[in-house]
Structure 1
Amino acid sequence: MKNVDVPGVPRGLLVGGAERDADGGATFEVVDPATGGVLCEVADAAPRDGLAALDSAAAAGPGWACVPPRRRAEILRRVHDLLLERSEEFALLITLEMGKSLDESRAEVAYGAQFFRWFAEEAVRIDGHWKVSEDGSARVLVMRRPVGPALLITPWNLPLALPARKIAPALAAGCTVVVKPAEQTPLTTLKLAALLADAGTPAGVVNVIPTSRPAAVTGPMIRDDRLRKLSFTGSTEVGRTLLAAASNQVLRTSLELGGNAPFLVCHDADIDAAVCGAIVAKTRNIGQACVAANRFYVHAEVADEFVTKFTERMEGLRVGPGTAPGTDLGPLIDDQQRARLVALVDDAVLHGAEVLTGGTVPAGPGFFYPPTVLTGVSPDCAITREEIFGPVAAIQTFTDEAEAVREANHTEYGLVSYLYTRDLTRAVRLSEQLESGMVGLNRGLISDASAPFGGIKQSGLGREGGNSGISEYLEEKYVAIDMPA
């Protein structure tokens, strides 16, 4: 593998427990976003490869579903332990293909490992219930069983944690999976699948098919009646297309889509805490996260203090290659994403916004963009309507709380909201009024393997993590047992 000193990274498809070339031998390049150079080439799956992976998952399904829950749990716990043992290997690989700093990559490995530990514990707690029917003539037995083979489509921004968040509950429930990782970051998922095999996962239970032609490869799989579950994390636009395609087979579907998170700072907020939370919510993962704070609404009474302190913190962040010591923010994923960010900032300035820091593309290789703060942002510009996915904070002020909530809710998205206030009544009231599946109350970090992650409106369907996560991969069966008088 060119320029990458990380052992044990497959570069072929992983189907049926074996590494193989793509049909026709095609490959595609994986690029280092810090340099723009090629890291390596990986097998580029064709439609026949997708169906072969589904063949493998379908064949392994009955056997895996019959594995005792405790055994499945032990395998998942072993995955957790191995991930922590090999944390440095995975962290370096994440940084090389995605760009984030090594510290952030280490944190992602720890976060991803938590899903395997959590769902190892959930695997042995899949239950049903028994009761007497209303008229006493029957007994009602309700059991839960695995939904069947699942197609998991994952994005590039968290190349370990997001596959983990899907694979762990699927395996805990007794489902087999085919994983289609993002074209930009296939290496981490391939290495994770190899680790799953090391932990004792039987051949065919986890299959991975990197491809540069996702629609061509996943389309035939989605139309195949053996597939029973689709889980996708990515853009709302692609999510709508997949949801329409899944309707033909009436697939169980989980969608974690785009976000446009509001960040409200009330007049009674602890400003220092709000600034710290804003830095986390805005710059974690280089701002390339669906839960990143996009639209900042700051009460006019505290706006000067918040903006001054927040801008100072943003200016102090060090931008550079993720492998360099002391780096806070690495590069964006590619030049297309950077160009999109430039266009959003330019449009905001055209609509009257002021750039307090950042806003200029640096010279040199790689896809870097500086931490940027905009004030006086018009609610009419594109940056308030679209997901930013980069280290740019768009700040507006408010004086009327009800109006701030209306503006916060004025979006098709509803993934997460952030709220800072020291008043308990206000905290509860606004948490109830904000239209999102999650709220960070006086907290800029909401990701937690033990909590249900997901949104409302066009931010998606279903939940990942928490007690709800395994339910996405289970279906209920009711047995009516006759009890004659």
Structure 2
Amino acid sequence: MSGVITTVDPATGQPLATYAAWDGPRIEAAVERAHTASRAWALVPVAERAARAARLARTLREHAGRLAELAVAEMGKPVTEAAGEVEKSALTADHYAREGPDILADQPVTVEGAQAWVAYEPAGLVLAVMPWNFPVWQVMRCAVPSLVAGNGVLLKHASNVTGSALALQDLFVEAGFPEHLVTALLIADAEVPRTTARLIEDDRIAAVTLTGSNRAGAAVGAAAGRAAKKSVLELGGSDAFVVLADADVEQAAAAAVRARFTNSGQSCVCAKRFIVHTAVADAFTTAFVSAVEGLRLGDPRERDTQVGPLARDDLRAAVQRQVEESVAAGARLLTGGEPVPGEGWFYRPTVLADTGPGMAAFDEETFGPLAALAVARDDADAVRLANATDYGLGLSVWTADTAHGVGIARRVTSGAAFVNAVVASDPRLPFGGTKRSGYGRELAAAGIREFTNTRTYWVSPFVQAAPGSGVCAP
């Protein structure tokens, strides 16, 4: 089962590093050590666990430069965004260091004749299958609340960010967490489905969380169901960015560029489908295309770069296919629409107009610098188009009337709705999807409690039976 894992710089297409993939015995040894560490960690008081999270935040900031450089090298993230990802992770650790003990505290419940409360107790060892697009944040979003809750984490990170996975594993130890409590597994890509299924069946694994494709989510969810284990799945999205007739067009267009092209468009919460009321469609399109054409595409190591390469060449090919199929179906190419010649896996920021249901750029999750514009006749048509997707992660609505914007949002199915703001995750708020975007929640109180045993305690006063009664008191 052993093999070789090679990481590649997407800005040049050149290899970065090679790692030996683990065989079965090495994986077994790692699982056993992680299980032992997680059992011991569950006995550590929550205040002490939270204190380690505070130390983790400081350690993240101390190593921010190195972690950002790894993200740039391994998946092509623009360096300023990579630094922001590390800081967001540190802020999340700070949040759970402050709030975790109160969220996990016993919750008294008033009942007659007894003392009752609800406790949130550690679940055990959590298998985390994480993607490459946010190599630091994705791990921290899962690991920090899990660790503060008293669990261990068995990390299966994407193979193209193996260097980041190993660096994070070491970072937790440096921050004062016990060795092996967070363990990064090095598994060859061909072995991941079989190994993941076997791990989920393992009695030492208490739960599983995955961020990734629908195909991977279906496999993991099915395996967790067969094993009767808790799972959280975040499976991407095709978020709608709805611009109503009374919106500030310039403000909405500027926000739309950020919403679509952050992380070079490789984000589950990037807006994908821009649904614009016909009254402002021309003005929005003009402003949006002009701003897209002004984006700086280039070396992700340069601080003024706004769009870097795609993480893999097959991802670039997928974007090209979506563009070609959509144009063949009637979409209009307004800008971009082709790979950049030369080394690396760059793709020109692209805008398609006249898209709608039945087109690849509208129906599929587009994971790259591709925006699909659709015109809505009225508000009802905007709701129809926003709901015309199998996904349901985020939604952004732009309007001068915020109450009306909330009303529109309530008619569209999603895990989060933002009015006059770009969809983003925040440690203070639950994050997760509906429909094919998955289930379960990360972050906030919901996220830290996802992988706990919500346990009921009922304590009645002891009543001694009368001597010679021969029965126990009821």
TM-score normalised according to structure 2 size: 0.94
Shift of residue 484, structure 1, vs aligned partner: 5.8
Identify the residue that residue 269 of structure 2 maps to in structure 1: 291
Amino acid at match of 1:406: R
Amino acid at match of 2:128: L
Aligned pair partner of 1:472 in 445, 450, 458:
450
Counterpart-to-counterpart distance in 2, 1:189 and 1:119: 22
Q: How does 1:277-288 map to 2 (within 5 A)?
A: 277-288=255-266
Aligned pair partner of 2:26 in 44, 49, 53:
49
Counterpart-to-counterpart distance in 2, 1:258 and 1:203: 32
Contact persistence 2:37–2:179 (CA under 8 A): yes
Amino acid at match of 1:143: A
Contact persistence 2:395–2:423 (CA under 8 A): no
1:162-202 CA-partner distances (Å, limit 9, x unpaired): 00001101100000110000011121121111111111111
Counterpart-to-counterpart distance in 2, 1:52 and 1:162: 25
Shift of residue 445, structure 1, vs aligned partner: 4.2
Shift of residue 203, structure 1, vs aligned partner: 1.5
Structural RMSD (CA): 1.5
Contact persistence 1:50–1:217 (CA under 8 A): no
SS at match of 2:279: helix
Q: How does 1:303-382 map to 2 (within 5 A)?
A: 303-382=281-360
SS at match of 1:66: coil
Identify the residue that residue 468 of structure 2 maps to in structure 1: none
Counterpart-to-counterpart distance in 2, 1:49 and 1:406: 52
Amino acid at match of 2:235: L
Identify the residue that residue 4 of structure 1 maps to in structure 2: none
SS at match of 2:408: helix
Shift of residue 92, structure 1, vs aligned partner: 0.9
Contact persistence 1:73–1:120 (CA under 8 A): yes
SS at match of 1:468: helix
Q: How does 1:370-409 map to 2 (within 5 A)?
A: 370-409=348-387
Amino acid at match of 1:355: L
SS at match of 1:184: helix
Amino acid at match of 1:466: A
Contact persistence 1:47–1:220 (CA under 8 A): no
Amino acid at match of 1:60: A
Shift of residue 132, structure 1, vs aligned partner: 4.6
Q: 1:200 to 1:375 in 2, by over 3 A?
A: same
Counterpart-to-counterpart distance in 1, 2:181 and 2:386: 43
1:350-397 CA-partner distances (Å, limit 9, x unpaired): 012111110021210111101111111242211111000111111011
The reply on whether 1:77 has 2:54 as its aligned counterpart is yes
Aligned pair partner of 2:71 in 81, 91, 94:
94
Counterpart-to-counterpart distance in 2, 1:130 and 1:399: 53
Shift of residue 217, structure 1, vs aligned partner: 2.3
Identify the residue that residue 148 of structure 1 maps to in structure 2: 124
Identify the residue that residue 248 of structure 2 maps to in structure 1: 270
Contact persistence 1:57–1:205 (CA under 8 A): yes
Counterpart-to-counterpart distance in 2, 1:131 and 1:124: 18
Q: 1:425 to 1:324 in 2, by over 3 A?
A: closer
Percent of residue pairs bearing the same amino acid type = 37
SS at match of 2:280: helix
SS at match of 1:373: strand
The reply on whether 1:121 has 2:98 as its aligned counterpart is yes
Unaligned runs of 5+ in 1: 1-22
Counterpart-to-counterpart distance in 1, 2:110 and 2:429: 33
Counterpart-to-counterpart distance in 2, 1:166 and 1:435: 24
Q: 1:88 to 1:406 in 2, by over 3 A?
A: same
Q: 1:440 to 1:141 in 2, by over 3 A?
A: closer
SS at match of 2:273: strand
SS at match of 2:445: coil
Structure with larger Rg: 2
Identify the residue that residue 67 of structure 1 maps to in structure 2: 44
The reply on whether 1:461 has 2:421 as its aligned counterpart is no
Identify the residue that residue 442 of structure 1 maps to in structure 2: 420
Contact persistence 2:394–2:423 (CA under 8 A): no
Contact persistence 2:417–2:423 (CA under 8 A): no
Unaligned runs of 5+ in 2: 464-474
Shift of residue 133, structure 1, vs aligned partner: 3.2
Contact persistence 2:402–2:419 (CA under 8 A): no
Shift of residue 129, structure 1, vs aligned partner: 2.7
Q: 1:107 to 1:374 in 2, by over 3 A?
A: same
Contact persistence 1:115–1:449 (CA under 8 A): yes
Counterpart-to-counterpart distance in 1, 2:115 and 2:328: 69
Q: 1:429 to 1:197 in 2, by over 3 A?
A: same
Counterpart-to-counterpart distance in 1, 2:22 and 2:400: 53
Shift of residue 260, structure 1, vs aligned partner: 0.8
Amino acid at match of 2:42: A
Identify the residue that residue 19 of structure 1 maps to in structure 2: none
Shift of residue 475, structure 1, vs aligned partner: 1.1
SS at match of 2:274: strand
Contact persistence 1:57–1:176 (CA under 8 A): yes
Counterpart-to-counterpart distance in 1, 2:325 and 2:412: 27
Identify the residue that residue 470 of structure 2 maps to in structure 1: none
Identify the residue that residue 141 of structure 2 maps to in structure 1: 165
Identify the residue that residue 467 of structure 2 maps to in structure 1: none
1:31-51 CA-partner distances (Å, limit 9, x unpaired): 111111100012312343333
1:104-160 CA-partner distances (Å, limit 9, x unpaired): 1111111122221112223322112334535x3x33232221011110110000000
Contact persistence 2:80–2:303 (CA under 8 A): no
Counterpart-to-counterpart distance in 1, 2:431 and 2:175: 26
Amino acid at match of 1:188: S
Counterpart-to-counterpart distance in 1, 2:383 and 2:26: 48
Contact persistence 1:45–1:211 (CA under 8 A): yes
Contact persistence 2:278–2:378 (CA under 8 A): no
Counterpart-to-counterpart distance in 2, 1:130 and 1:28: 50
SS at match of 1:263: strand
Amino acid at match of 2:418: G
Q: How does 1:405-416 map to 2 (within 5 A)?
A: 405-416=383-394
Contact persistence 1:282–1:293 (CA under 8 A): yes
Q: 1:194 to 1:395 in 2, by over 3 A?
A: same
Counterpart-to-counterpart distance in 1, 2:25 and 2:289: 52
Amino acid at match of 2:16: L
Shift of residue 480, structure 1, vs aligned partner: 2.5
